């Protein structure tokens, strides 16, 4: 069965993935004599840097998502199909999807990344990732439900486990999540749950390396650690998580911590597609040359997190963040035009615009090429940059209003449990732990 897409007398560019790279590429091909066909399993683009705010009740999911069709409503050469891509056949220039097969003249893999649990089965089974909107919503429901359960239980050990949170990975996502949880503890939860002694709530940030925000400047990591400590976050550096059964998390130090919620933000792995295994690199990424062309292929390209372009400056590939994806999408659009018109392609050169992370109210760190910022000015810079890259004027306005309201009132307005969370009881967990039985993932049932 063929995908229902018009056959035009134009080169067809098939883009797999509606993330930063895919969206940028498709937009840059507007008014070009090509047919752009995009596939994604969702009909919306997600602004992933703000997923942690959805998970901690700061924003609703529709304020960080934007419909792909609406984004391209004025681009006549763009066609979108919501489907899952199953494999690539480079010899026949075809891809197989859940809605049929389609040929291409140019294929661009922009499938992004997924949570990397580093082969630790217990973490993948019981830990909570935060790479997409459903996962962020699940986490929000679990966090809020924990406190509803904590009010009901008279078991002090169980209450402690419900009120403790372990965040694994002290990169920007981990730091921002830990900071957001700390602000919930300080400003929100005491009003919502006056019956609870919130001093018992513990937030643990675990990092295998010797610093928070690895990759940022020593000054920024020092300032971030200081800000987190001031917020009451327990930071464990040079520490590895070894096991987790849904109640007890084992770490190289301080040993065991009881928690019903382990949030995994320790890394990502590329979303490799079947059919391109010959170009597979480390971390689930696809090896590409300086033009983002898949190794040993001529019309297949990969951009963004899934692309592994080794250079002298980045021997292990570019950072798996938004900026490389955006810049590669922009350049690849020009190179596709160059190929069509018989011109030479231009090699990719990454322009590092810096990195940043927010820790909480008036607290952030920003590293730019010649500038280091922290505190209020860094926090304002972080907000402006994120609002700029957020898709859609409505989303920008809604997010800004939410942030302004939260700043003025010390409140977050989306503390809603929209579905029932069915979880194992403490007794079952303890019994399974004694008998060393495998535990099933807590079932999330839609309302």
Which positions are annotated as active-site residues? 176
Beta-ladder partners of 288: 294
Query: Whole-angstrom Cα distance, residue 72 to residue 234?
Result: 45
Alpha carbons 405 and 185: distance in angstroms, whole number: 18
Gap between the Cα atoms of 261 and 311, Å rounded: 39
Is the CB of residue 201 less than 8 Å from the CB of residue 213? no
- Report the DSSP pairing between strands 113-115 and 268-270: antiparallel
Distance between first and last Cα of the chain: 36
């Amino acid at each position: 069965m063929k995908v229902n897409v018009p056959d035009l007398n134009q080169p067809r560019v098939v883009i797999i993935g509606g993330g930063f790279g895919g969206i940028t590429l498709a937009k840059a091909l507007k008014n070009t004599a090509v047919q752009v066909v995009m596939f994604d399993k969702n009909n919306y683009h997600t602004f992933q840097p703000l997923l942690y705010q959805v998970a901690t009740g700061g924003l609703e999911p529709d304020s960080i998502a934007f419909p792909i069709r609406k984004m391209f409503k004025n681009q006549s050469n763009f066609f979108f199909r919501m489907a899952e891509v199953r494999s690539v056949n480079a010899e026949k220039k075809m891809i197989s999807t859940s809605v049929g097969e389609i040929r291409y003249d140019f294929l661009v893999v922009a499938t992004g990344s997924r949570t990397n649990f580093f082969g630790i089965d217990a973490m993948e089974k019981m830990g909570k990732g935060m790479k997409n909107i459903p996962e962020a919503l699940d986490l929000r429901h679990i966090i809020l439900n924990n406190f509803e359960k904590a009010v009901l239980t008279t078991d002090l050990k169980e209450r402690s486990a419900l009120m403790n949170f372990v965040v694994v990975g002290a990169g920007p996502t981990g730091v921002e999540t830990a900071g957001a949880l700390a602000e919930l503890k300080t400003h929100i939860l005491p009003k919502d749950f006056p019956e609870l002694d919130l001093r018992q709530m513990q937030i643990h940030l675990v990092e295998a390396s010797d610093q928070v925000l690895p990759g940022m400047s020593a000054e920024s990591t020092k300032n971030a650690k200081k800000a987190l400590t001031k917020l009451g976050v327990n930071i464990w550096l040079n520490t590895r998580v070894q096991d987790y059964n849904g109640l007890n998390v084992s770490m190289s130090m301080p040993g065991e911590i009881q928690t019903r919620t382990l949030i995994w933000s320790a890394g990502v792995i590329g979303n490799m597609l079947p059919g391109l295994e010959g170009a597979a690199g480390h971390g689930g990424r696809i090896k590409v040359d300086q033009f983002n062309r898949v190794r040993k292929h001529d019309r297949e390209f990969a951009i963004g997190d899934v692309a592994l372009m080794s250079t002298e400056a980045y021997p292990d590939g570019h950072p798996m963040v938004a900026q490389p994806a955006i810049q590669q999408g922009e350049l690849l659009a020009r190179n596709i035009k160059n190929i069509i018109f018989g011109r030479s392609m231009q090699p990719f050169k990454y322009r590092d615009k810096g990195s940043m992370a927010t820790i909480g109210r008036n607290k952030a760190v920003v590293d730019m090429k010649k500038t280091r910022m922290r505190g209020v000015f860094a926090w304002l810079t972080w907000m402006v940059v994120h609002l700029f890259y957020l898709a859609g004027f409505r989303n920008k306005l809604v997010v800004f209003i939410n942030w302004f309201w939260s700043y003025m009132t010390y409140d977050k307005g989306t503390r809603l449990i929209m579905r029932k969370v069915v979880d194992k009881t403490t007794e079952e967990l303890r019994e399974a732990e004694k008998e060393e039985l495998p535990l099933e993932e807590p079932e999330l049932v839609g309302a």
